[in-house]
């Protein structure tokens, strides 16, 4: 046994939380919740992809490409479910689901390459709304 081992373990203490399953699941979810190409739902096809009348976006310019959100699993309740589990395992406390979202903490357990997707999804799902630089969680009716 080397005396250096505990020190090395300490160095990896922060990163280890990023390997917790709910955190990994959340990042995987963000990767998979968008599909390639513009949205081809009935409404977008009928309206020639004019989203000016939409409350929530369907298509996005992300990673230099056009992507669309998959509606089957991108409702606010879906996003919240993944977010709550990841938050609990990373922050070791329950996510407060009312008021301002602590986005710095969410970003801390989200891959930096996925931050644009995170923000796009928070807004598009209706889970949170940006107001004066703060993200306000919208109260969900169960
Ligand atoms: Zn659409």
In a domain, 98, yes or no: yes
Report how far ligand 1's centroid is from the alpha carbon of 7 (Å): 52
For the chain, the domain total comes to: 1
In a domain, 24, yes or no: yes
Q: How high is the mean pLDDT of the chain?
A: 91
Could you list which residues have their CB under 5 Å from ion ligand 1? 39, 41, 44, 58
Residues with Cβ within 8 Å of 70's Cβ and at least 6 positions away in sequence, in order, are 32, 33, 34, 35
In a domain, 93, yes or no: yes
What pLDDT is stored for residue 63 in this prediction? 86
Q: Evaluate if residue 1 carries a pLDDT over 70.
A: no
The whole-number average pLDDT for the span 34-55 is: 94
- State the DSSP string of 14-63: HHHHTTSHHHHHHHHHHHHSEEESS--SHHHHHTTT--TT-SS-SEEEET
Determine the structural domain holding residue 75 and report its residue range.
15-33+71-137
Token reading at 54: 């939409």
Token reading at 94: 């329950």
The whole-number average pLDDT for the span 45-58 is: 93
What pLDDT is stored for residue 46 in this prediction? 95
What pLDDT is stored for residue 107 in this prediction? 97
- The tens digit of pLDDT for each residue in 98-116 reads 999 999 999 999 999 999 9
In a domain, 6, yes or no: no
Report how far ligand 1's centroid is from the alpha carbon of 47 (Å): 9
């Amino acid at each position: 046994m080397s005396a250096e081992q505990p020190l090395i373990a300490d160095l990896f203490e922060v990163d280890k939380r990023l390997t917790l399953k709910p955190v990994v699941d959340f990042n995987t979810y963000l990767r998979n919740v968008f599909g390639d190409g513009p949205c081809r739902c009935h409404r977008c096809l009928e309206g020639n992809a004019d989203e000016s009348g939409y409350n929530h976006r369907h298509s996005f310019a992300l990673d230099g490409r056009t992507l669309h959100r998959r509606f089957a699993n991108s409702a606010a309740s879906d996003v919240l479910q993944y977010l709550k589990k990841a938050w609990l395992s990373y922050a070791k406390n329950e996510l407060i689901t009312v008021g301002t979202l602590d986005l710095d903490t969410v970003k801390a357990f989200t891959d930096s390459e996925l931050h644009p997707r995170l923000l796009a999804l928070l807004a598009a799902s209706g889970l949170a709304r940006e107001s004066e630089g703060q993200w306000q969680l919208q109260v969900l009716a169960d």
